[in-house]
Amino acid sequence: MIDIKALEKDPTFVQEYRQSLKDRGADASAVDDLLELNSKRKSYLTQMETARAEQNRVGQEIARRKREKEEASELLSQMQELSGQVKDFDKLAQEVSAELELMLLSLPNRLHSSVPLGDSAEDNEVIKEVGPKREFSFPVKDHVALGETLGILDFERAGKVTGARFAFLKGAGAQLERALIQFMMDCHSQRHGYAEMIPPFIVNSQSLQGTGNFPKFKQDVFHLSETDYYLVPTAEVPVTNYYAEEILDEKELPLRYCAYSPCFRSEAGSHGKDTRGLIRQHQFNKVELMIFSHPDQSYDWHEKLTAHAEQILQDLELAFRRVSLCSKDIGFGAAKCFDLEVWLPGSSGYREISSCSNFEDFQARRANIRYRPEGKGAKPRFVHTLNGSGLAVGRTLIAILENYQQDDGSILIPEALRAYMGGRDKIPASQKG
């Protein structure tokens, strides 16, 4: 959420935010609408307080006249009129406040100055490419053909049981998925110092509002009918809100968590994109990295978090690249975002496997997560929140199947995963789940 006080009082902030909206392709006039609404809200509140003060004065005069047995009928009539004014202005102020709140919740974050300008994903800036792309002496298959031939992926029966964009993982496929979760959690907790967490997989609407999913992206989330419960679209939602409405000690920062959860997404806006295979499922597993940082350190931690996610790809010896998302491709709540894209031979292209974002204080304002600076009389400040996939498990499984496929139809197991796969070094071509 954008700081309304900064928009009111800081001309530099206003100028930067107007430009940020333009760079995102949004309407910069929203700033004027916002300030006008806030001015109207303040006017109604002022008029309400003026009427209330007069109401108190008249009330005191009525009490005096009654004590002295004087006529007060005229003042009683005035008192009734003032009471009506207080209620009317209070109602108007509440209505405008609700409209203002909705508008604030619907406006995107201010972009960091280093975000590249661009109109689409084609304009994202490639920061680096890591690792050679595997070369094959035989025709490569994509993960769907590989998984179905090996008998470790079953989309047809998942369609029967549930519907489109679901899958059964069987045998070595299920084992590989489980091994990846364990490997990622171990790496981030034991090597990088994140505290492990398994959060609730169901959250309320307030939590989704806190991370920026609501109200703008409500159609993308699965709702449990006749409740205020929703299936998590990512562990980011419950873990971010772990400290909602709390004030942390400055010395505790940064607080770092790695969390496993299944993720559920309706994909309402995908319009038939990537309907084949595991790329864009309604349900998938993910390991999420989450950091609550001191504002002065958040961009250092953004770099570290991204490097921690990259470590998984390096350990699995998968070619990837890091890109900085441009102004019209970056997410609604991010001030800056790096995407990690893994090389998939089956489609001869890079595909996103992690988004690592610094939200600055955008989410913290929505969820009211603050810290108290050291020093007598210091007022609480909002923390900065950061998160990133470390990694999306299903897409990592895709990358392993496609990059480690062999001419005989088998799949080699990356060396880093073999201990998690019971010591096996390959999924044999004769594997049938």
Domain finish residue from 106, 139, 163:
106
Residue 245, domain CATH: 3.30.930.10
pLDDT score, position 271:
56
% of the chain with per-residue pLDDT over 70: 97
* pLDDT range class, residue 67, cuts 50, 70, 90: confident
Mean pLDDT value of segment 92-96: 96
Asked whether residue 168 falls in the same domain as residue 27, the answer is no
% of the chain with per-residue pLDDT over 90: 90
Tell me if 300 is assigned to some domain: yes
Asked whether residue 229 falls in the same domain as residue 287, the answer is yes
Q: Which of 34-38, 71-75, 308-312, 413-417 has the lowest mean pLDDT?
A: 71-75
Asked whether residue 207 falls in the same domain as residue 246, the answer is yes
Mean pLDDT value of segment 407-420: 97
* pLDDT range class, residue 239, cuts 50, 70, 90: very high
Asked whether residue 244 falls in the same domain as residue 128, the answer is yes
Asked whether residue 271 falls in the same domain as residue 341, the answer is yes
pLDDT score, position 220:
94
Q: What is the mean pLDDT of the chain?
A: 95
Tell me if 114 is assigned to some domain: no
User: Distance (Å, rounded) from C-alpha 127 to C-alpha 341?
Assistant: 11
Asked whether residue 366 falls in the same domain as residue 244, the answer is yes
Residue 98, domain CATH: 1.10.287.40
Asked whether residue 234 falls in the same domain as residue 100, the answer is no
* Count of structural domains within the chain: 2
- Active site amino acids: 265, 280, 352, 355, 395
Asked whether residue 275 falls in the same domain as residue 333, the answer is yes
Mean pLDDT value of segment 244-263: 98
DSSP of 382-423: E-EEEEEEEEEHHHHHHHHHHHSB-TTS-EEPPGGGGGGGTT
Q: Cα–chain-centroid distance for residue 41?
A: 30
Asked whether residue 94 falls in the same domain as residue 155, the answer is no
DSSP H stretches of helix in 193-297: 205-211, 236-240
Tell me if 204 is assigned to some domain: yes
Asked whether residue 265 falls in the same domain as residue 326, the answer is yes
Mean pLDDT value of segment 330-352: 97
Q: At CB < 8 A and 24+ separation, what contacts does 56-60 make?
A: 58/82
Asked whether residue 92 falls in the same domain as residue 199, the answer is no
pLDDT score, position 274:
67
* pLDDT range class, residue 272, cuts 50, 70, 90: low
Domain finish residue from 73, 106, 139:
106
Mean pLDDT value of segment 108-125: 97
φ/ψ bin of 85: left (φ > 0), alpha (ψ from -120 to 50), beta (otherwise): alpha
pLDDT in tens, 141-151: 999 999 999 99
User: Distance (Å, rounded) from C-alpha 195 to C-alpha 189?
Assistant: 6
Domain finish residue from 75, 106, 137:
106
Tell me if 95 is assigned to some domain: yes
Question: Judging by DSSP bridges, how do beta strands 195-197 and 255-264 pair with one another?
Answer: parallel
* pLDDT range class, residue 338, cuts 50, 70, 90: very high
**Residue of higher predicted confidence among 378 and 335:** 335
Tell me if 432 is assigned to some domain: no
Asked whether residue 75 falls in the same domain as residue 192, the answer is no
Tell me if 330 is assigned to some domain: yes
- For the whole model, what pTM was predicted? 0.93
User: Distance (Å, rounded) from C-alpha 354 to C-alpha 375?
Assistant: 38
CB 279 within 8 A of CB 395: yes
pLDDT score, position 187:
98
* pLDDT range class, residue 69, cuts 50, 70, 90: confident
pLDDT score, position 433:
43
Q: What is the DSSP letter of 375?
A: S
Tell me if 115 is assigned to some domain: no
Domain limits for position 157: 121-427
Q: Which two tokens stand for residue 166?
A: 């679901």
Q: In what order do the strands lie in the sheet with 349-358?
A: 125-130, 320-324, 336-344, 349-358, 384-392, 283-293, 255-264, 195-197
Tell me if 409 is assigned to some domain: yes
Mean pLDDT value of segment 196-208: 98
